[in-house]
């Protein structure tokens, strides 16, 4: 508990500092303390004399409602006013932040009259009727009337800008607060100049990636050996028993690796810069905190945002499902104990998830009944974790994969609203799946607004909308408990 609380504290401080430290004069430590209050209260309860009693639901919900409200109030109380000419009522705060981030390494050089006229001619009146240009320290905000499809308008303006100015600007296309799309030209951080030539960035670091892979293989194998029933005493007596953890380790790393390679492959398909997948080893818990890649270039459009976001969960799920079915078929059916749950691998409650109930019935048939739990085979453990990881990533909040998906489907503003609602839905879900409480807490620390794409106006096609709905359906099937009528039909 102490280790998890420490990790949560460090993660929370990092998120608070990165997300709002530059927006308010309120001390970062104060904002961090407010958001950590629920975790501190729960930790104190777990070590108190009343640890065996359930935590009062009313107090828990009150903490998760009051603390975010107090957090927001403190941010507004110390909010730093924008400088003159930096923002306007027609430019959303999220868009302004995106423009600032895109041009963080460069400022906009002054333009002469000839360059101003050239920029105006880059906006054909039949595509985007330019009405005025606002000059900012780090951007040119070009406002007007859209006269064609968003895709045609963006591609036309971007090609004209590149034809006349080369790689000098990044062209950003977003919706204003009134829903009217506007263009913004920001300095391209990757542009080479005589004074400051751009240095090539080394993205692929195979030695680091391979080192983390080997370290994670070791830690997951160690955890897998304990899952397989190997004790410390028997391991010291016979070190070869360590290899019994390989089925768990290899299957889990294949699932996590394919998840991240799905993101990586799709990013490279859109010619976006991305690092190799890096695993995170830990010598306890599951043996790893997962894997990640980093995107080092802007997302070109909402279609690319959607494809990169959904490629990871679907790739991991394609491997997790057959591994889980095989692992369930080799698992042991036991009598349902009182502590059976979604993440109790010695007594998994198949009814804790609609997806697990269907897969358990497919793999075990009549062996599993209403009062049956499942003692999972190590491969089934990794498959079950693959399902859970897929579900957690598909939650439509902020920069999670699900947040990218709903942003691409419904737009940045609507995606942020969906994310806010989902935070409280996941919190309510902890009444059924208490194991998700830590994740529910973390969701409140993740910024609800996803970063915009360069062309954040063009919408998706119907096929991608259908895939997005399928992804959200998979999320529901994994996290919701099996309804009583379906459970009676299956078991």
CB 257, CB 236: distance < 8 Å: no
The residue-averaged pLDDT of 189-212 equals: 67
- Cβ pair 38, 68 in contact under 8 A: no
Q: Does residue 377 contact residue 327 with C-beta atoms inside 8 Å? A: yes
Give the pLDDT band of residue 95 (cuts 50, 70, 90): very low
Q: How far apart are the C-alpha atoms of 55 and 44, rounded to whole Å?
A: 11
Once rounded to an integer, what is the mean pLDDT over residues 129-151?
A: 88
pLDDT class of 161 with cuts at 50, 70, 90: very high
The region that residue 421 occupies, defined by phi over 0 for left and psi between -120 and 50 for alpha, beta otherwise, is alpha
**Residue predicted with more confidence, 56 or 476:** 476
Answer CATH for 93-187 from 3.40.630, 1.25.40, 3.40.50, 3.30.1360: 3.30.1360
**pLDDT at residue 96, as a whole number:** 45
Evaluate whether 319 touches 382 at the Cβ level (below 8 Å): no
Q: Would you place residue 11 in the very low, low, confident or very high pLDDT band (cuts 50, 70, 90)?
A: low
* Residue 51: per-residue pLDDT: 62
Q: Helices 412-429 and 93-102: crossing angle, nearest 10°?
A: 110
- What is the value of pTM for the model shown? 0.79
Looking at the chain, how many residues does it have? 491
What gap in Å lies between CA 35 and CA 72, rounded to an integer?
Answer: 10
% the chain with pLDDT above 90: 42
- DSSP E strand stretches across 218-339: 278-281, 288-292, 332-335
Long-range own/partner contacts, residues 140-147 (CB < 8 A, 24 or more apart): 140/108, 140/169, 140/184, 140/185, 140/186, 141/88, 141/91, 141/182, 141/183, 141/184, 142/182, 142/183, 142/184, 142/185, 143/90, 143/176, 143/180, 143/182, 143/183, 144/182, 145/180, 146/180, 146/181
pLDDT above 70 for 10: no
pLDDT band at 4 (very low <50, low <70, confident <90, very high): low
Cα–Cα distance list, 94 to 87, 170, 307, 340, 449 (Å): 11, 17, 22, 44, 7
Residue 69's pLDDT is what?
A: 76
pLDDT tens-digit readout, 370-394? 888 999 999 999 999 999 999 999 9
191, 168 contact by CB (below 8 A):
yes
Q: For the chain, what is the mean pLDDT?
A: 83
Mean pLDDT of 194-204: 55
């Amino acid at each position: 508990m102490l280790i998890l609380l420490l990790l949560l504290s460090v993660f929370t401080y990092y998120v608070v500092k990165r997300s709002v430290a530059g927006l308010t004069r309120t001390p970062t430590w104060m904002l961090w303390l407010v958001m950590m209050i629920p975790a501190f209260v729960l930790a104190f309860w777990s070590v108190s004399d009343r640890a065996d009693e359930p935590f009062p639901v009313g107090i828990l919900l009150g903490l998760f409602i009051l603390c975010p409200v107090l957090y927001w109030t403190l941010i507004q109380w110390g909010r730093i006013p924008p400088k003159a000419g930096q923002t306007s009522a027609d430019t959303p705060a999220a868009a302004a932040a995106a423009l600032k981030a895109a041009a963080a390494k460069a400022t906009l050089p002054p333009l002469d009259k000839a360059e101003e006229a050239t920029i105006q001619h880059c906006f054909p009146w039949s595509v985007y009727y330019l009405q005025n240009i606002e000059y900012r320290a780090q951007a040119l905000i070009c406002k007007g009337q859209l006269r064609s499809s968003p895709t045609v308008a963006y591609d036309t303006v971007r090609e004209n800008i590149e034809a006349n100015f080369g790689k000098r600007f990044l062209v950003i296309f977003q919706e204003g607060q009134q829903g009217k799309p506007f263009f913004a030209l920001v300095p391209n951080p990757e542009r080479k100049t005589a004074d400051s030539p751009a240095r090539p960035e080394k993205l692929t670091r195979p030695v680091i990636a391979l080192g983390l892979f080997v370290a994670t293989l070791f830690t997951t194998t160690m955890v897998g050996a304990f899952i397989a029933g190997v004790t410390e005493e028997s391991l010291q007596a016979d070190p070869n028993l360590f290899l019994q953890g390989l089925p768990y380790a290899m299957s889990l790393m294949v699932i996590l690796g394919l998840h991240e390679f799905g993101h990586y492959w799709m990013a490279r398909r859109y010619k976006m810069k991305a690092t190799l997948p890096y695993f995170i080893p830990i010598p306890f818990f599951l043996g790893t905190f997962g894997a990640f890649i980093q995107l080092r270039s802007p997302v070109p459009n909402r279609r690319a945002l959607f494809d990169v976001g959904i490629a990871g969960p679907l790739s991991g799920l394609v491997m997790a499902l057959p591994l889980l079915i095989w692992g369930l078929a080799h698992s042991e059916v036991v009598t349902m104990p009182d502590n059976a749950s979604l993440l109790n691998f010695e007594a998994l409650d198949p009814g804790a998830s609609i997806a697990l109930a269907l897969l358990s019935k497919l793999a075990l048939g009549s062996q599993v009944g209403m009062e049956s739990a499942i003692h999972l085979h190590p491969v089934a453990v990794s498959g079950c974790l693959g399902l859970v990881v897929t579900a957690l990533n598909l939650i439509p909040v902020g920069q999670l994969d699900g947040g990218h998906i709903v942003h691409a489907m419904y737009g940045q503003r609507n995606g942020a609203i969906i994310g806010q609602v989902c935070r409280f839905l996941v919190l309510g879900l902890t009444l059924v799946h208490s194991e998700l409480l830590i994740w529910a807490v973390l969701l409140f620390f993740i910024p609800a607004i996803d970063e915009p794409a360069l062309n954040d106006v063009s919408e998706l096609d119907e096929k991608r909308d259908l895939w997005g709905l399928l992804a959200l359906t998979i999320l529901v099937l994994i996290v919701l408990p099996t309804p009583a009528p379906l459970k009676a039909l299956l078991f």
